[in-house]
Amino acid sequence: MNPDSLITTIEGIGNFYQKKLQFLGIKTIKDLLMYFPARYDDFSKITDISDLKINERACIKGEISKISNIRTRGRGMFLTQAVVNDDTGSMKIMWFNQPFLTSTLKDNDLVCLAGKIVSVKGGVYLSNPIYEKISDEKELTHAGRIVPVYRLTTRVSSRWFRFVMKKAMPVLRDIKEPLPKELVRENNLMEITKAIKQMHFPDSWSSLRKAQERFAYQEVFLLELFVLKQRVKRMKENSISIPIKLEKVKKLVESLPFSLTISQKKAVWQILKDMEKTRPMSRLLQGDVGSGKTIVAALAALNAAKNQYQVAFMAPTEILAKQHFETVHNFLKDFNVNIGFLTSKNDKYFSKKLKNQTIEISKAKLLEKTLKGEIDIIIGTHSLIQKKVKFKKLGLVIVDEQHRFGVEQRSRLIKSSAQKGLMPHLLSMTATPIPRTLALTIYGDLDISILDQMPRGPRDVETNVVTASEIKGVYSLIRKEIDKGRQAFVICPRIEKKEIDEDEEISPMKDAWSEVAAVEEEYEKLSKEIFTEFNVAMMHGKLGSKEKERIMKDFKNKKTDILVSTSVIEVGIDIPNATIMIVEGADRFGLAQLHQFRGRIGRSGDKSYFLLFPSAKSKDSIARLESLVKINDGLTLAESDLKFRGPGDFSGVRQWGIPDMAMESLKDIKMIEKTRNAAKAILEKDWRLKTYPLLEKELDRFNQEAHME
């Protein structure tokens, strides 16, 4: 066996287990060795039977004096009963539905058992314990030590994992250190083979911590190395130099019904100066909801169009794409540009000859015009990166709410343009505030511009955390606002009652849904019981695009008074007349996401109300939500949320497959700066990593597992 051998070379792993392990991403023996435990049980302390306490978990050593199976009446369940003795006393043992144990464990066997001491009518006993025979020939694996517990798939137990992991341990001798020796030495890191062994079978808690520190450092270092390598690579690529058409830019700024903020002017200038360069811009424009990102993007798009370059403007949903289409057209209607609209289901076209009219044309015709260069700016969903969409001279790509627009996606756009080999400039936009540690790591290859001022000044939005006892007062407030001609949002974390998270622990003692509102349930209650005199509508992600468009159009046109919705309204929904928003199950959302919700109200300048109903009553949940009452700055809230919930809940970071140890380290600015400096130093010497082949291979592994692209 060697690290690259298939897992089937381990005795006992046949087709059945191979399929189960592949589901966990385990194909080779090295994959298995790098599949670290989710947690550990401390069964290292052996307790005398005389010292055992009811309801405590404990580990004992002793000799079996008798063991037998009995079958219960009625339910027909097997109980395996035993008595174990040590020098201080005896203890009853009970296993449930494991009748095979009488073949495995025999009278007079010396065993180590770990489990919980329980008291029932039949007496005190050790319930369903982990068991292991004691032998002079081998060290304990399942009890009598710090025991690893693994994330599992169906019909694969932690006991089985520990069993096969022990069989794979001899392969450690062939695992080579991927990190440069100087990094291991300078940072006092545990050497890799020792660290892997300690991760699975730790000798002590201090050894385990050292192993975890080593792999946390390694993964954060690889993350830094990846993003900085992407940056270096981008610096070596070629792009189009798009000069600044200052007169056109000034004309658009002067035509606006509002003044640009200082941060908007600074961001526009940074973007336009980047687009002048012959290396591709890769900039992230970050700003709270309502901070004016779209006009900044429109100025960049106009500058590209007036240089005869095309612009692709992508949004994550059809609703937001259409909103951008109408907004950008409104900004640029006097600037003689053609703007197209393309999604998987819709296509429209604004002609420069008919400035304020929408011309419906076929998708084929729109694609033909784009290929000929007759469309200056095309706005749509990710349908813009389909093979059928081809450009004559693509110069700028604008992407909303997808911070990491990967190299693969950009390369598709390069191929779709007639200018072969020239990378278009990229501007990403987000309303999600990014904490400093994430900005340095996950988005470290991007230049960042921040809009930290509101064009129309601060909004008058009152935020409160409310309880169920205050619901009547909240309903009265909604009535009062609607009677004044205003509108209300009610946000729920779920669509329907039957949806349950797989990893959510539901108590069988109570209604699992009593505290978590569902959109359908809330809609029924509000429309048929509470607000029968008002028009109430419901929206969620499972509705078709035309239905969602119709619902939002009715809400915008004030045909609907109350909109009950899931988080689909989080991105890009603009309803200036809405002055009240209730968020049910508010603790189930991140602070940054709640802050985005809050940005959907108060846009008219009128007094507005943002009311949070938590489903959990824990002090931590309430304290986290209370920070929204005190803080109105998105970036400060993001930093606060990072401490409360961790980086996994930001911008889809969790789905990137970065290990939990590294995730936790993304809160640690010192660790970030240390690994960043180390990555920089290596790339300055050898950005292709040709003199670091093992590190290059490990970086490829990281990229595939974390799918950063």
Residue ranges and CATH numbers for the domains of the chain are 1-39+157-171 (1.10.150), 45-144 (2.40.50.140), 246-276+292-430 (3.40.50.300), 461-499+512-631 (3.40.50.300)
Q: What is the pLDDT of residue 405?
A: 61
* Average pLDDT score over residue span 549-557: 87
Average pLDDT, the chain: 86
Which residue stretches of 484-606 are H helix? 519-525, 545-556, 591-598
- The residue type found at 36 is F
**Which is more confidently placed, 473 or 436?**
473
In eight-state DSSP terms, residue 666 is T
pLDDT band at 406 (very low <50, low <70, confident <90, very high): low
For position 407, what pLDDT does the model report?
57
Q: Are 102 and 96 in contact (CB under 8 A)?
A: no
Specify the pLDDT at position 498.
44
Per-residue pLDDT reduced to its tens digit, 316-333:
888 888 889 989 999 998
How confident is the model over 541-556, as a mean pLDDT? 83
Q: For residue 72, count CB atoms less than 10 angstroms from its CB and return exposed for 0-12, middle for 13-18, buried for 19 or more.
A: exposed
- Note the pLDDT of residue 154: 75
How far apart CA 424 and CA 480 sit, in angstroms, is 51
Weakest-pLDDT range from 83-97, 107-121, 359-373, 632-646: 632-646
Instruction: Answer for the pair 378, 368: CB distance below 8 angstroms, yes or no.
Output: no
Which of 327, 353, 416, 331 is CA-nearest to residue 341?
Answer: 327
pLDDT of the residue at 355: 54
**How many Cα atoms within 13 Å fall on the side-chain side of residue 72?**
11
What local confidence, expressed as pLDDT, does residue 650 receive?
A: 57
Residue 231 has pLDDT above 80, yes or no: yes
The pLDDT value recorded for residue 499 is: 39
Q: What angle do CA 705, 707, 709 make, to 5 degrees?
A: 155
**Spatial separation of the C-alpha atoms in residues 17 and 40, rounded to whole Å:** 23
64-68, 143-147, 498-502: which has the minimum mean pLDDT?
498-502
Q: Is 413 exposed, middle or buried (0-12, 13-18, 19+ CB in 10 A)?
A: buried
Beta-carbon contacts of 324 under 8 Å, excluding residues fewer than 6 positions away, are 294, 313, 315, 379, 400, 572
- Cα–Cα distance between 71 and 587 in angstroms, integer? 46
* Residue 113 DSSP SS3: strand
The residue among 279, 263, 661 whose CA lies nearest residue 445 is 279
Sheet holding 377-380, edge to edge: 358-359, 347-350, 339-342, 377-380, 310-314, 394-400, 425-430, 282-287, 447-451
Query: Residue 645's pLDDT is what?
Result: 66
Say if residue 651's pLDDT is above 60: no
- The larger pLDDT score, comparing residue 690 to residue 437, is at 690
- pLDDT for res 347: 53
- Which of 265-269, 277-281, 288-292, 559-563 has the least mean pLDDT? 288-292
Q: In what order do the strands lie in the sheet with 461-465?
A: 461-465, 608-613, 578-584, 487-491, 562-565, 536-539
Residues found in the chain:
709
Contact 581, 600 (CB under 8 A): yes
Q: How do residues 364-385 score in pLDDT, each as one tens digit?
A: 888 899 999 999 999 988 888 8
Instruction: Please answer whether residues 237 and 279 qualify as being in contact, where contact means their C-beta atoms are separated by less than 8 angstroms.
Output: yes
Distance CA 130, CA 142 (A): 7
What integer is the mean pLDDT of 94-121? 93
At 497 the pLDDT is 53
pLDDT exceeds cutoff 70 at 225 = yes
| Sole residue written with tokens 């336009």 | 272
Band the pLDDT of 346: cuts 50, 70, 90: low
pLDDT at 291: 87
pLDDT digits (tens, 9 = 90+) for 480-538: 999 999 999 999 887 655 433 333 332 222 333 333 458 888 999 999 999 999 999 99
Give the residue carrying structure tokens 């081809």. Answer: 390
Q: 651 CB contacts (<8 Å, ≥6 apart)? A: 403, 430, 432, 434, 438, 442
Work out the pLDDT band at 597, boundaries 50, 70, 90.
Answer: confident
How many alpha carbons lie under 13 Å from residue 250 in its C-beta half-sphere? 4
Beta strands in 14-56 (DSSP E): 39-42
In angstroms, the CA 454 to CA 608 distance is 16
pLDDT at position 502:
32
Alpha carbon distance 133, 126 (integer Å) = 16
Mean pLDDT within 676-682? 95
Terminus-to-terminus CA distance in the chain, angstroms?
33
Tell me: pLDDT of 120 over 90: no
